[in-house]
Amino acid sequence: MNSPFRIIGKSFPRLDARGKVSGKAIYGTDFAMQGMLHGKLVHSPIASGEIISVDTSRAMAMPGVYEVVTAKDIPAQRYGSFVKDMEVFASGRVNFIGQPVAAVVARTAEEAEAAAKAVKVEYREQAAVFTTEDAVKADAPLVHPDWQEYKAVPTVKRQGNITNQARLVLGDVDKALKESYRVFTHRFVTNVVHPGYTEPRAAIAHWADGSQLHVWSNTQLPFEAQATLAEIFKITPSQVRVNVTVIGGGFGGKLRLGVEHYAAAAALKAGRPVKFVSSCEEEMTSALPRQPLTIDLTTGVTKDGKILAKAASILVDTGATSGSGVGVASSVMLMLAGPYKIPNLRLESRSVYTNKTPTGSFRAPAGPQGNFAVESQMDIIADALGIDPLEFRLRNIVREGDLAPNGQKLESVSLEECLLKAADAIGWKDRRPEPGRGKGIACAWWTTTSGSSGVYVKVGPDGQVFLNTGCAEIGTAALTGAAQVLAEALGIELGSIQIVSGDTASTPFDFGAQGSRTAFAVGNACIDAVGKLHQRMKEIAAKQFSAKAEEIEIDGGAAKFGDKLLPLKEIAAIAQTSQGGLIAHGTFIAPPTLHDKERTENMVITAINSPSFHAHAVDLSVDAETGEVKIHDYVVVQDVGRAINPTYIEGQIEGGVVQGIGQALSEEIVYENGIVRNAGLTDYKMPTAMDAPNIRSFIVESPSKVGPYGAKGVGEPPVIHPPATIANAIASAVSARVQTLPITAEKIVRTLTEVSETAK
């Protein structure tokens, strides 16, 4: 079938490829300035306690040292997304091992690191709490004794160590559970995992004239960094300029401030540009990993496999600050309900402080955790009822026009197609082909994050088009996708477009590279800009042709009037000499997703915007003696709405699957009394290219009514399903159900032993 598009749907090379493959791209860790100094942090060695004194005298006397910066050098200002509970440097107390207490500024990074070890901090250690179960007890020590003084958004409901208590409620759960044929209750526990970006967090800060702060960093959200830095240093946002360097991966781990605030504080005191780069150990001990969750899930079903009710109690470990955990506590409930028709729901979630590393946003926040619980239990129930797990899902999934658990009406629903294609591709009919070998399946829905996007589109007199966006390219090629949308709408070739991005002083505002929104939102802003450009093109051409603007047609990047043709570059040349150039400002903000507000309580995330649907399936073997798992084939079927660039969609799918496999089988930041025991890549078992299995991607196009040319968000969904899909396949292969992540070989062997002993 012939495609109606010239540019959309084709796998063009990414526009930023040349600089990256040639080594000319300047990453945050590469960036340098004349006269630049280096900074290193002083970290707390205890999990909880008062700071009695900070002695910097010995450090200041060491070679190459310029300054030591502490909390007293910064305006007393707490900041945070939902609750303002974060400090740049700890002032009165510390709340986790690794918390920055001071920073040393020196001539070289090596000198700064040596001097950081010489800063002497005296503490009065206090009782700490390391698990959410302990933290919610009435007599638990408070991570933040002054929590009531912290400002917070009105939606959240706080108490002690609880940073929010939220609910999603529908129907009468207790009555439905009593009427159920069977009721299943299970506990699922997920793990702390690092986003795993290749390049650590890096930033350089410089104060011009002592009042204008200029920051170069590998942040995913330049405008949020600008606003937060202005808040911390009590200046206006216009006094802060953030430039985004080339980014060596983000995955959500670079959404919030990483080291920008330390660099800014150090540069202010030193009077020179200062660079900070996180070490591997700092990434593992004081970055923003994925929240671990404890989920108690109860589901009631009929004899023929219809879900009647679902109840859940969820604890989200946010670490020592609330961070994005408040949002995760909300979105996980939408994941736990799943893309299923459930008439009765009571999901209750609490985000909780502990004296551990603050957690943050990692690709599809709450997605893998919630999906692991709900999709694992779906298989447990199906097997107990003697129903094929695929069939059990098909009996309960949402379909076109259904109401989701939060009451939003669902459109462009492709879940059945995704499930059937995944099952067929993996050979589902032979679910257990041989002893020790099994197949698993899981499905989900996911959101496309909203937020405002603006672009400037400028056409030069030589036909070159500049796409100016405040959004950063984080390695996904999403801005190439947005440029394809622009090229399609404007009727030009993709090679005619140059992208200017990520500068808060010269680009329009963008909500940022997060939540699968970049190509979706920036692409829509481009379409808006093109509509305005077309109108100006008509007006200019009308004067040239002595016609009316409404008589002009725009076709193939040119203006037409009868048999007369005025190419785009000629229109741009005329505009440049007579009107200051052919420039348009395009904007987009997603329309609100209507839902039943009566069902949600204290939820800061209440809807799934422009939902996408997907299914994963895996064929694997398990060695019953060693617990080793070998993946033979992994299949992804993902509804992308409209495939703007199929190659990069497949790249996102493959990368997401490998990340998900890491969370499923090996990755975990291990804590012991608040101490990270594997603060290095030798002991933190992240999959490498050698560990990646055969991954097959199948793209489904069920167009969105909102996205550009029908596109939906694509970046986050692939990481959601692997833990549940793999857990289900392992249980199918060896009849051992592991309900805590990661599913290590040791856990498999232990579970098999327990099953064997129980059977005796």
Predicted confidence (pLDDT) per residue in 507-556, tens digit: 999 999 999 999 999 999 999 999 999 999 999 999 999 999 999 999 98
- Distance set, CA 35 to CA 255, 267, 275, 751 (Å): 29, 11, 11, 59
Kindly tell me if the per-residue pLDDT of 1 is higher than 70: no
Kindly tell me if the per-residue pLDDT of 399 is higher than 90: yes
Give the mean model confidence (pLDDT) for residues 658-664: 98
**What confidence category does residue 210 fall into, taking pLDDT thresholds of 50, 70 and 90?**
confident
Give the mean model confidence (pLDDT) for residues 120-129: 98
Reduce the DSSP state of residue 313 to 3 states and report it.
Answer: strand
**320/317 Cα distance (integer angstroms):** 9
Shared fold status for 37-126+201-277 and 293-448+595-759: no
Give the mean model confidence (pLDDT) for residues 498-502: 97
**What confidence category does residue 452 fall into, taking pLDDT thresholds of 50, 70 and 90?**
very high
Percent of the chain with pLDDT over 70: 100
What is residue 757's predicted lDDT score, i.e. its pLDDT?
A: 80
By the 8 A CB rule, do 441 and 471 touch?
no
Kindly tell me if the per-residue pLDDT of 662 is higher than 70: yes
Q: Mean pLDDT over all residues of the chain?
A: 97
Kindly tell me if the per-residue pLDDT of 453 is higher than 70: yes
**What confidence category does residue 3 fall into, taking pLDDT thresholds of 50, 70 and 90?**
confident
**45/90 Cα distance (integer angstroms):** 13
| pTM listed for this prediction | 0.97
What is residue 298's predicted lDDT score, i.e. its pLDDT?
A: 98
What is residue 77's predicted lDDT score, i.e. its pLDDT?
A: 82
**CATH annotation of 293-448+595-759:** 3.30.365.10
What is residue 30's predicted lDDT score, i.e. its pLDDT?
A: 96
Predicted confidence (pLDDT) per residue in 284-343, tens digit: 999 999 999 999 999 999 999 999 999 999 999 999 999 999 999 999 999 999 899 999
Residue whose entry in the numeric block shows the structure tokens 């729901």: 345
Give the CA dihedral 693, 698, 704, 708, nearest 10 degrees.
80
Residue whose entry in the numeric block shows the structure tokens 């919030």: 256
Query: How many Cα atoms sit within 13 Å of 399 on the Cβ side?
Result: 6
Q: Which amino acid is at 548?
A: K
Reduce the DSSP state of residue 86 to 3 states and report it.
Answer: strand
- For the chain, how many residues are written? 760
**CATH annotation of 37-126+201-277:** 3.90.1170.50
Fold of 450-588: Aldehyde Oxidoreductase; domain 4 (3.30.365)
- Distance set, CA 536 to CA 569, 574, 580, 597, 651 (Å): 13, 11, 12, 43, 38
Domain boundaries, the chain: 37-126+201-277, 293-448+595-759, 450-588
**What confidence category does residue 380 fall into, taking pLDDT thresholds of 50, 70 and 90?**
very high
Euclidean distance between the first and final Cα of the chain, in Å? 61
Give the mean model confidence (pLDDT) for residues 211-239: 97
**What confidence category does residue 2 fall into, taking pLDDT thresholds of 50, 70 and 90?**
low
Q: Does the N-terminal peptide bond of residue 742 adopt cis geometry, omega within 30 degrees of 0?
A: yes
